Amino acid sequence: MNLTELEKFYKGKSVLVTGHTGFKGSWLIRILTLSGAKVTGYSLNPPTDPSLFQIAGLEKTVNSVIGDIRDLEGLKKVFHQAKPEIVFHLAAQPIVRDSYKNPAYTYETNVMGTVNILECVRTSDSVKSFLNVTTDKVYENKEWEYGYRENDPLDGYDPYSNSKSCSELITHSYQKSFFADGGCAISTSRAGNVIGGGDFANDRIIPDCIRAASRGKDIIVRNPFSTRPYQHVLEPLAMYLTIAMKQYEDKAYEGYYNVGPDDRDCITTGQLVDLFCSLWGEKVKWINQYDGGPHEANFLKLDCSKVKKVFGWQPRYHVKEAVEKTVQWSKSWLAGEDMLAVTDRQIREFFS
């Protein structure tokens, strides 16, 4: 899919994005804006400082509403005002280690937040397409060598992963209970680990690399042998936009979809950091320093044959290109460049 195709469908359509101030949400609303959509965002203030949302000045480019996904009445008001035709649900507490520190907040946001958004969709007469964005960590992880398929059991281990499993099950229930006879098309999408410019989250490996490298310090890697499906942030966003579009046009496309890289891009954290160091330069290096933190999966990858078969999808960037684009964006930011222009350029390159 290219920007011309996106514009052909999304131009003039009212689109609501929850979690629009976050890393993935910021990239998504910019693609939608470039495609001519009328975008409304509903989210808390940016979860990091700095943030892509603030750096690129995205507040000026969309109808940005600051609100809590746990606030059903506030969410209803936004639906009433925006009358969205398409809804992307990204609002979440997304950090595994933070979910151990505050499990109740994680469940309130990720579980009841999903109930609230689906209640608004259920009572709306405008929404025709809804996509709930979850994670590859929703699966019961048995440390298998093969990638998890959409029909494998859901049972995330930690509070974050488990709450997203619950979010999936809630979505499935609403779809069967309230939308089976027509109306709005409902899907979920389970993405692998995303990397890209503008991610400043704590406890994520590439942001940790950038923070250390920009300060001339060694990168601390706490689990270099864990395997993850790393992909550039624009890869799953392109798929989200495709799913929402296709099911809007034909409800037969609704379902549950994995979005991840090919097997050769499922690499260890140590290999990822090696790539980062070689692309960043400046003699940056990393050290293995396990900090005894809480349980996290060691081996995780997705089987993405369904989206390839249904949508003819193929990843555009391999992991080296994904890290390269991230390094380019980050060095541009550190050099004080116009980051909206840099972000737009990377979007146009990807969708060319």
> Which residues, in sequence order, are CB contacts of 181 under 8 Å at separation 6+?
none
41 near 17, Cβ under 8 Å?
yes
Write out the two tokens for 192: 């692998």
DSSP string, 202-226: TT-HHHHHHHHHHTT-PEEES-TT-
Residue with tokens 């078969």: 309
How many structural domains are present in the chain? 1
C-alpha–C-alpha distance, residues 255 and 122, integer Å: 17
pTM exceeds 0.75, yes or no: yes
Binned average pLDDT, 10 residues per bin, the chain of 352 residues: 93 98 98 98 96 98 98 98 98 90 96 98 97 94 84 93 96 96 93 94 93 95 88 97 98 96 90 97 89 64 93 94 98 98 98 93
Amino acid, res. 326:
T
Q: What is the pLDDT of residue 294?
A: 63
Q: What is the pLDDT of residue 298?
A: 67
C-alpha–C-alpha distance, residues 110 and 139, integer Å: 16
Write out the two tokens for 198: 């503008």
Write out the two tokens for 233: 């942030």
Q: What are the pLDDT digits (tens) for 199-244?
A: 999 889 999 999 999 999 999 998 888 888 899 999 999 999 999 9
Q: What are the pLDDT digits (tens) for 278-316?
A: 999 989 999 998 766 665 656 778 899 999 999 999 999
For residue 289, is it left (φ>0), alpha (ψ between -120 and 50) or beta?
beta
For residue 227, the enclosing domain spans 3-350
Q: What is the CATH number of the domain that holds 243?
A: 3.40.50.720
| Residues 112, 116, 122: CA angle, nearest 5 degrees | 140
